[in-house]
Amino acid sequence: MMIFRIAWRNLWRNRRRTQLTMGAMIFACAMLVFSLGYYDGFLWSLINNATEKENGHVFIALPGYYANPTLEDACSEAISSQIPASLKPEIKGVCPRLQAYALLSCGTGNDNRTQPSQIIAVDYQAELANSKLANDMVTGNFLSGQEREILLGQGLARKIRATIGSEVIFFSSAADGSIASEILLVKGIFSSGENMRDSSLAIMNLKAAQQLLALEDRVHSHRLFLRNPMQAEEIASQINSGQKGLEATPWQSIFPQIADILKIWLGVQLFTVAIYYAAMALITFNTMYMAFLERMHEFAVMQAIGLTRGLLAMLILCESIVMATASGLIGTAIGACVNLVLFYYPIDLSRWMESITWGGSSIQPILFCVPSLLSNLLPLLAMILLGFAVAALPTWRLYRLKPVEALREG
């Protein structure tokens, strides 16, 4: 304990140099914690935007439907009995979906506008309980269960000049070959962040779509929403091994680009740590080596009166570790607090930039961080290791120090 007190006092013999060095170390550590938290926030935003709205974490349908969807390939709406009981605690909820293509028309006479559209029919209660589809509403309200309701993508509503309360004519072919036609009322307008998709996407109630398309009690797919998205592959594999009539596809297979990023994510974090601390190592090394050179005469005297090289080396090592650990703890605390604030109160940057579509997901213009144990501990541990590393050369020089020559030079 005594040696740590002496090391701390030695650091403040040159107060200005120590303050500047520790300030740089604290800043580097805090920025690194923030950067890793921001990267995690970016990654989780990609995953959540891709899975928690429309696609879900596991896609269940008839074999071959995902690769080649057709209107007739519909499975039973009841699926609960076909999911193994051991998996149910891991599943937050199930959302049945029906998908079709139709012509949507709005207006009369010369003002009539018609657009081909993709229709997604949903169970509004299941969506409100499990997915974040309702969060995309721009104007109006989400579905409430009335049969004649429809939601339009922002781009689609603009193309057919529809507003809240407008009547839209739905025209399509049913599964039995008959004509499906109905007049629907626009309940709301949404924006998913993907402009191209919003220009042709509409959402309506599942029951109404089943009646129109002659698919009573049948759906095209079930979307499982899990408590832990990272378990999607394991759960899909167990469902496939137990069910021959259905095929489960995890989100990693639907969005392979995002899954590939996950595989190299730890490497990205370690590379980021290396970049931040490479420059920091030079600054800290300069401080420790200058302190050693200034005290070379002092070390020679201490050796001459009998103090061992081992104790002197431990003193230098303690000075470096104390400075690195103190800086790391303060920097980690600052960075973690920033991440925590941005986790609960992300900053919306949509005023200055637009969302970007990549890998099947939309990247929203928000400054969002996800604090994690790894993003907090990795910079701190790396800073402590840095303390060991920068003390290596002064310690080596100390072991080669000859007291007589050092005293003569002093």
Tens digit of pLDDT for each residue in 284-342? 777 777 777 777 777 677 777 776 777 777 878 888 888 889 999 999 999 999 999 99
Distance CA 407, CA 410 (A): 5
pLDDT higher than 90, residue 146: no
DSSP-based helix, strand, coil % in the chain, nearest 5: 55, 20, 25
Residue showing tokens 């200055």:
352
Distance CA 321, CA 22 (A): 12
| 146-160, 231-245, 254-268, 269-283: range with highest mean pLDDT | 146-160
**For range 93-120, the mean pLDDT:** 90
pLDDT at 266: 80
Task: Compare 77 and 404 and report the one with higher pLDDT.
Answer: 77
Residue 204: CB atoms within 10 A of its CB come to 28
Contact 376, 337 (CB under 8 A): no
Per-residue pLDDT band for 17 (boundaries 50, 70, 90) equals confident
Distance CA 150, CA 297 (A): 85
pLDDT higher than 80, residue 91: yes
Which of 159, 162, 205 minimizes the C-alpha distance to 182?
Answer: 205
Interval 243-270: pLDDT, tens = 678 889 999 888 888 888 888 888 888 8
Q: Which residues pair with 218 in a beta bridge?
A: 76
Contact 324, 26 (CB under 8 A): no
Provide the 3-class DSSP secondary structure of residue 92: strand
Per-residue pLDDT band for 154 (boundaries 50, 70, 90) equals very high
Percent share of the chain, pLDDT over 70:
94
**For range 95-103, the mean pLDDT:** 93
pLDDT at 405: 64
Which of 403, 375, 394 minimizes the C-alpha distance to 31?
Answer: 375
